[in-house]
Structure 1
Amino acid sequence: MTPRSRAHRFRIAAALLGLGLAGPAAAGGDAGHGDGHGGGKAAVAVEPLPVAARSLPVELVRTLQHLQDQIARGSTQAHLGQRTLIAHIENRLLTQEPATWTEPANLRAAVTFVLSGGGPTILRQILAGDGVPEAELPLVQGALAYLEGREKEARRLLVPIDARKAPPGLAGQLALIQSALVVRDDPAGSLRFLDLARLLAPGTLIEEGALRRQVFVLAQIGDVRAFEALSIQYLRRFRHSVYAGNFRQRFAAALTRLDFAADRGRFARLEAMLNELDPEGRRDLYLLVARAAVDQGRTAAAISAADRAGALAGADRTVLERARLYRSAAGIVVPGRFDEALAGLRAVDRDALPEADATLLDAAFAAARGIRDLPPPAPAEAPPATPAAGRELPQASAIARARSVIQDVDDLMQRSRQ
């Protein structure tokens, strides 16, 4: 041992002795020699802190929540094992003695279990007995009503409960459910419950789910600044979540609805959000935005996002072909870009496309044929002779052609959504 490491060891031992957590041996001396000042006085044993034993229902639910938190961190194994664990826990809970459910901690564990993905059977069994404390009845009955789809009753029973006074394992989950119960009628109230859920369960699947939902509620009410801020937070903290793929798809649709390509300033903010991702993740999101923009008929957004995706494609043939498809499918209805867009469609390698994009390619070609190769309008029957002042002018062929093209584009958009 070097003099430096020996000195470091003695400093640690001295600190532990100062806290009363180490005996003389920790300081490097023999127990029988004392400390040089106390005359060989023996060390006092430290009693362990008392830890209350948890009941089986509580321990089982804690195990489930730990597994689900791994899902938020991106563990696909945890996601695959969740169903098996839930079935095991349900079987164990159903075999508990009726007296188990007279304890509030066990009742709350059962409610947490069903709100975390378990079935309603255990709550039905509990309520069939007569041992549920009256103070816990609204929670148990409300949770069962929620699982059984009785939304009005669930809202009446669960929303008044203060989640801040619930035990840690239940608090965040309860706030998350409360937000879902009020979102239709009170989006602002739903956002407050989601804020509370995030505060009560930081770093868990509850926080991941609350943040994910909050982003889309903000998109629905059009709060662009808060949408941007929380989207960046989600992309920074939960980009590896098993549910991040679902988030990215809905995020792309929300970006398009909010028209982030409407001007350079808004598109720059979109780029700032996506810059939180690695190049591959950024590329995939640009593709999702481009496809959503094609579906929604937002040509400028589709072309801009497709160009960004293509620039990030590298040697990935599938990404290159998808970006070309989205850019061209949007471009065929843009004045002055038809020929360029049609050439792009013809250059797309169909074999490199996923099935859904191959369908979009067919729809784009159908629309292009309608725009370019419309048959001439049928000749109108000669109107009866009338005075010149009251004569009806024949319909111009350009107007008929324009109406037909608009219908073809509408058909394209409809088919691409299917």
Structure 2
Amino acid sequence: MVKVRPLAALGLILLFAADAAANESSRPAHAAENHVVEQEARPLSVPSPLQMVRTLHLMQDQIATGSTEAHIGQRGLLGVLDTRFMELAPEVWQSGKNVYAAVSFVLSGGNPGLLRKLLDLGSSVVTENDRPLVEGALAYVEGREEAAYNALVSLDPRTFPPTMSAQLALVQSALVVRKDPAKSDELLDFVRLQVPGTLLEEAALRRQVFVASQTDRIEKFQSLATGYLRRFRHSIYAGNFRQRLASASTRIDFGQDKSRFDGFVTMMQELEPEARRDLYLLAARASVEQGFTKSARLLSEQAQKLAEGDPVSASRAKLYRAASMITSPEEIKAAAEDLRQIDRSHLPASDVTLLDSAIAMAGHIQTMPGTPKALAEKPKPLLTKAAAEKTADTSTQAQGLEQLQALSKARDALSRVDRLIKNQASVTQ
């Protein structure tokens, strides 16, 4: 497959757009007669709207591969095409494929004024069949969501040419995602299959990852995210994707299911070690805040493996691991000791607050009235298992109930502290 360099594509369009002007401004006056003869012999070729939009899409597809040259170049190209489209004669727009090209151009970042012009030209240009598409696309790019929804959602993308169908489905998915996430997911599947390897596929995959996370389809979320990181990790928009991926990951309780956590670890292998470590730490802290203690421990232990030589990351991982263990009767003593050993000079301010709260909570749990000694120290068995079973009576049952109640109170208190920390952090951000 031949790759088109972005600036070469831009130069092609600039050549078409500027050809006539350059000839007029740079040609000496005495050569005018020869120029007329030459034009009669070789008429100037003007690209069609469809050809110009295809060139724009070729450039934009390079953005998905990480070309900053294309990202910068598309601005100039859009400016040239804005002028070129607005100068085309009305009869050019009497072709339905050119109307689709205009809609595609506007949905790709072009001037919405072009669609207003086509609508003003009347039914000879925009037929009744095409009016919902044109009006809906205009409403969408202008931010009139309800009008766009009413015009576009009932259209069947499969009845349009491939690129137009993918763009329409991408817009429809954004319009329906709040009301019908499953439909949005289905539309994004269609886009990815319709235009593989394009910026449209990259955008669809990027959006679909978060639709899956919001609907708690964790396996699909992890599969799609892995696919994105493998195929579009160098995209200009990959940085934004990673930020949103981190945000989505903080809402998942990975401790619920081993396969869920294993899938997350597999997905993380697609990231560089440093990025992987930072994302583990972010998700681990969020898990502590939300009371996902098993998840926090698993994530912080993965971060510890990647924190060698980095005392800040190592201290944070140790903090999150210990904080996740303080409500465990068997582990609170070791967790409290780990908390006291952490060098707070290695922690950011928000984590120092979490450390102080975790130490205080560990001490409170260990000394609170009615708290069983098992929370402070795991006792050695005084009776054999058989003897214990024989001597069990209502008093030991009551003691067990007391222990459960005390542990529940401790966990509730920890949750309240964590929520307070989270609220304080959000105020300072």
Task: Name the CA distance, whole Å, in 2 between partners of 1:89 and 1:185.
Answer: 36
Q: Would you say 1:100 and 2:97 are equivalent positions?
A: no
Q: Which among 207, 211, 231 is matched to residue 225 of structure 2?
A: 231
Task: Name the CA distance, whole Å, in 2 between partners of 1:211 and 1:342.
Answer: 41
Task: Name the CA distance, whole Å, in 2 between partners of 1:322 and 1:218.
Answer: 29
Cα drift, residue 78 of structure 1 = 2.7
Match of 1:255 in 2: 249
Match of 2:125 in 1: 132
Is the CA contact 1:287–1:323 (under 8 Å) kept in the aligned structure 2?
yes
The 1:310–1:87 alpha-carbon spacing in structure 2 relative to 1, beyond 3 Å, is farther
Please give the per-residue CA displacement for 1:326-379, whole angstroms capped at 9, x wherever unaligned: 4466567777266345335534425xxxxxxx34224325535764899xxxxx
Cα drift, residue 203 of structure 1 = 0.7
Task: Name the CA distance, whole Å, in 2 between partners of 1:412 and 1:334.
Answer: 21
Percent identity between the aligned chains? 46
Q: Would you say 1:411 and 2:423 are equivalent positions?
A: no
Task: Name the CA distance, whole Å, in 1 between partners of 2:264 and 2:57.
Answer: 34
Task: Name the CA distance, whole Å, in 2 between partners of 1:320 and 1:125.
Answer: 61
Q: How do 1:209-358 residues align onto structure 2 when only pairs under 5 Å count? A: 209-316=203-310, 319-320=313-314, 322-324=316-318, 326-327=320-321, 336=332, 339-340=336-337, 342-343=339-340, 345-350=342-347, 358=348
> Root-mean-square deviation (CA), in Å?
3.5
For 2:255, what is the secondary structure of its paired residue? Answer: coil
Match of 1:29 in 2: none
Tell me which moved more, 273-282 or 127-136.
273-282
Between Structure 1 and Structure 2, the one with more helix by share is 2
Cα drift, residue 405 of structure 1 = 6.0
Task: Write the letter of the residue equivalent to 1:133.
Answer: V
Match of 2:396 in 1: none
Task: Name the CA distance, whole Å, in 1 between partners of 2:342 and 2:138.
Answer: 54
Any unmatched runs of 5+ in structure 2? Answer: 1-44, 365-406
Please give the per-residue CA displacement for 1:368-405, whole angstroms capped at 9, x wherever unaligned: 5764899xxxxxxxxxxxxxxxxxxxxxxx99999876
The 1:404–1:229 alpha-carbon spacing in structure 2 relative to 1, beyond 3 Å, is closer
Is the CA contact 2:64–2:235 (under 8 Å) kept in the aligned structure 1?
yes
Task: Name the CA distance, whole Å, in 2 between partners of 1:232 and 1:400.
Answer: 40
Please give the per-residue CA displacement for 1:109-130, whole angstroms capped at 9, x wherever unaligned: 2211221233422222322233
Task: Name the CA distance, whole Å, in 2 between partners of 1:122 and 1:341.
Answer: 65
The 1:272–1:91 alpha-carbon spacing in structure 2 relative to 1, beyond 3 Å, is same
Q: Would you say 1:69 and 2:61 are equivalent positions?
A: yes
Cα drift, residue 322 of structure 1 = 4.7
Task: Write the letter of the residue equivalent to 2:113.
Answer: T
Match of 1:26 in 2: none
Task: Name the CA distance, whole Å, in 2 between partners of 1:75 and 1:94.
Answer: 29
Q: Which among 191, 206, 217 is matched to residue 200 of structure 2?
A: 206
Any unmatched runs of 5+ in structure 1? Answer: 1-52, 351-357, 375-397
Q: How do 1:179-190 residues align onto structure 2 when only pairs under 5 Å count? A: 179-190=173-184
Cα drift, residue 414 of structure 1 = 1.8
Q: Would you say 1:85 and 2:77 are equivalent positions?
A: yes
Match of 1:18 in 2: none
Please give the per-residue CA displacement for 1:1-33, whole angstroms capped at 9, x wherever unaligned: xxxxxxxxxxxxxxxxxxxxxxxxxxxxxxxxx
Task: Name the CA distance, whole Å, in 2 between partners of 1:222 and 1:404.
Answer: 28
The 1:317–1:399 alpha-carbon spacing in structure 2 relative to 1, beyond 3 Å, is closer
Tell me which moved more, 157-166 or 312-321.
312-321
Question: Could you say which structure has the larger radius of gyration?
Answer: 1
Cα drift, residue 144 of structure 1 = 0.8
Task: Write the letter of the residue equivalent to 1:413.
Answer: K
Match of 1:109 in 2: 101
Match of 1:41 in 2: none
For 2:254, what is the secondary structure of its paired residue? Answer: coil
The 1:202–1:57 alpha-carbon spacing in structure 2 relative to 1, beyond 3 Å, is same
Match of 1:380 in 2: none
Q: Would you say 1:197 and 2:191 are equivalent positions?
A: yes
Cα drift, residue 140 of structure 1 = 0.6
Task: Write the letter of the residue equivalent to 2:351.
Answer: L
Task: Write the letter of the residue equivalent to 1:73.
Answer: T
Is the CA contact 1:294–1:413 (under 8 Å) kept in the aligned structure 2?
no
Is the CA contact 1:325–1:344 (under 8 Å) kept in the aligned structure 2?
no
Please give the per-residue CA displacement for 1:35-76, whole angstroms capped at 9, x wherever unaligned: xxxxxxxxxxxxxxxxxx883432332232222212221223
Task: Name the CA distance, whole Å, in 2 between partners of 1:76 and 1:108.
Answer: 28
Cα drift, residue 244 of structure 1 = 2.5
The 1:159–1:264 alpha-carbon spacing in structure 2 relative to 1, beyond 3 Å, is closer
Task: Name the CA distance, whole Å, in 2 between partners of 1:324 and 1:338.
Answer: 9
Cα drift, residue 132 of structure 1 = 2.2
The 1:406–1:276 alpha-carbon spacing in structure 2 relative to 1, beyond 3 Å, is closer
Task: Name the CA distance, whole Å, in 1 between partners of 2:289 and 2:71.
Answer: 31
Q: How many residues align?
A: 339
